[in-house]
Amino acid sequence: MTMAAESGIARRLEPVRRLRGKVSLPGDKSISHRMAMLAAIAEGETFIEGYSESADCGATLDCLRRLGVRLQATDSGVHIRGAGKTGLQPSPVMLDAANSGTTIRVLAGILAGQPFETSITGDASLRRRPMRRIIEPLRQMGASVSATDDNLAPLTIRGGALRGITYEPPVASAQVKSCLLLAGLFAEGETTVLEPVPTRDHTERLLRAFGVSVTCRGAARTVSGHSRLQSPGRLRAPGDFSAAAFWLAAGLMVESAELVLEDVGLNPTRTGLLTVLREAGCAIEVVNERLVGGEPIGDLQVNASTLRPSRPLRLAGALTANAIDEVPILAVLGAAFHGAEVSDAGELRVKESDRLALIVRNLRAMGVEVEERADGLTVPGGQRFRGASIETAGDHRIAMAFAVAALVADGPTTLDDAGCVGVSFPNFFTVLEQLRGQGPG
């Protein structure tokens, strides 16, 4: 199930005239990680249908296996035998979160609750990403954590005997919030995270599905250390909105497109891109909305009658957290339509790559004008994309955003590393081939 994030296979992409068909999406990556981690420390067995086949979610399963969790991945999902809150075992080797920030930061919360020592590392990109944001509060809770330069992976965590704290993270981060709520399950008393702005709430929803009470009062999210987790038996991961976003954009940009995206997760803490599009006059049709396992899902349609943006795409303030992974594709959309203005997105500089810098460099390589700022960018609208060589830096979302730009470029485009899409969407190029092959000519 895993795939090297640094595989470095180049790929040439030709522009397309039409894209037609149903898009099959990977299961939501954020939700899959959390389902597996909670199932691992719950009582009872859990079957997770549609577990993401991404390399990131594969890394989470590998780490859990190393911690003694019995699990089996099949084509339809993952079966996990819960070890209970006290059943994890020390890993004989250092855990490897590969490229996955969610694996290392959220799992660290569980590791901080264990009365044994665990070391966890990741690939070169992950080893450059800031970990102080979880180290500080986990220490306040009583865990001992050491890290390179007190900030970078590998992390060595020795936990147990935690006490609940009230903590306001200096950055808006669902990973930090989730790390602390999971550590809070092992702590004496209550643990409260005060969110500077609301971030994705999958952990809160899933904890409830596992029978844990999570109170949400204003910005405060609180769990109690006495909580027990009971497996709900079966869970289903919705289609990943962040994967759907690339096809929504392709559907809007390619001349003749008719795309249906089924069973897409529509949690409002994730769909900031739809809000930005709507505010710019573009209405993506959402049909068949329903709740599955506490998460809203629906089918999305883009076709000739979908209204395209008629104003600039504006992303700022609290909304930025709800579209944080969609900024690369939003910048591409802005260039093609009426521009994009992104602010309060400084966090993008510490994602899998410095995404703001790479968006700018690659837009410019495609002949697109863009202004870079410390926390965002401005892209004028009505621009054309020139076929170019794209530098992905092994970042899956940069690769997919520019693969979409390549579909409407005036000549062939080469991605220096197409394999990195496997980090979140291993079938991305297979889907592209299917969609471009289904038109009548």
| Footprint of ligand S3P (CB under 6 A) | 30, 101-102, 173-175, 178, 200, 324-325, 347
State the nearest-atom distance from the C-beta of 53 to ligand S3P, in Å: 16
173 is in an annotated binding site: yes
Structure tokens belonging to residue 409: 């470029």
Residue that has been written with the tokens 């999305």 in this structure: 300
325 is catalytic: yes
State the nearest-atom distance from the C-beta of 100 to ligand S3P, in Å: 9
Label each residue of 185-244 as H, E or C: CCEECEEEEECCCCCCCHHHHHHHHCCCCCEEECCEEEEECCCCCECCCEEECCECHHHH
State the nearest-atom distance from the C-beta of 258 to ligand S3P, in Å: 29
Nearer to ligand S3P, 252 or 324 (CB): 324
Q: Measured in whole angstroms, how far is the alpha carbon of residue 412 from the centre of its chain?
A: 29
30 is in an annotated binding site: yes
Nearest to 275 by CA among 262, 266, 264: 266
Nearer to ligand S3P, 220 or 287 (CB): 220
- On whether the CB atoms of residues 230 and 211 are closer than 8 A, the answer is yes
34 is in an annotated binding site: yes
Nearer to ligand S3P, 193 or 360 (CB): 193
Nearer to ligand S3P, 156 or 269 (CB): 269
- On whether the CB atoms of residues 413 and 366 are closer than 8 A, the answer is yes
397 is in an annotated binding site: yes
Marked catalytic residue, from 325, 344, 375, 395: 325
Structure tokens belonging to residue 330: 């939003």
| Core vs surface per residue 4-31: b (16+ CB within 10 A) or e | bbeeeeebebebbebbbbebebbbbbbb
| Core vs surface per residue 203-238: b (16+ CB within 10 A) or e | bbbbbebbebebeeeeeebbbbbebebebbeebbbb
CA distance 25 to 427: 8
89 is in an annotated binding site: no
DSSP string, 15-36: --SEEEEEEPPPBPHHHHHHHH
State the nearest-atom distance from the C-beta of 409 to ligand S3P, in Å: 27
Nearer to ligand S3P, 96 or 195 (CB): 195
- On whether the CB atoms of residues 396 and 422 are closer than 8 A, the answer is yes
State the nearest-atom distance from the C-beta of 178 to ligand S3P, in Å: 6
Residue that has been written with the tokens 């470029």 in this structure: 409
Nearer to ligand S3P, 258 or 395 (CB): 395
Is the CA virtual torsion 129, 134, 140, 144 positive or negative?
negative
H/E stretch holding 341 reads strand 340-342
355 is in an annotated binding site: yes
SS3 157: strand
State the nearest-atom distance from the C-beta of 326 to ligand S3P, in Å: 10
Residue that has been written with the tokens 């899409």 in this structure: 421
State the nearest-atom distance from the C-beta of 332 to ligand S3P, in Å: 18
Give the list of residues 6+ apart from residue 218 with CB closer than 8 angstroms, or none.
Answer: none
State the nearest-atom distance from the C-beta of 324 to ligand S3P, in Å: 5
Nearer to ligand S3P, 30 or 271 (CB): 30
Report the length, in residues, of the chain: 441
Nearer to ligand S3P, 91 or 173 (CB): 173
SS3 51: coil
361 is in an annotated binding site: no
Structure tokens belonging to residue 121: 């590392």
Active site residues: 325
- Name the binding residues: 29-30, 34, 101, 129, 173, 175, 325, 351, 355, 397
Question: Which residues are documented as binding site for 3-phosphoshikimate?
Answer: 29-30, 34, 173, 175, 325, 351
- Residues flagged as binding site for phosphoenolpyruvate: 29, 101, 129, 175, 355, 397
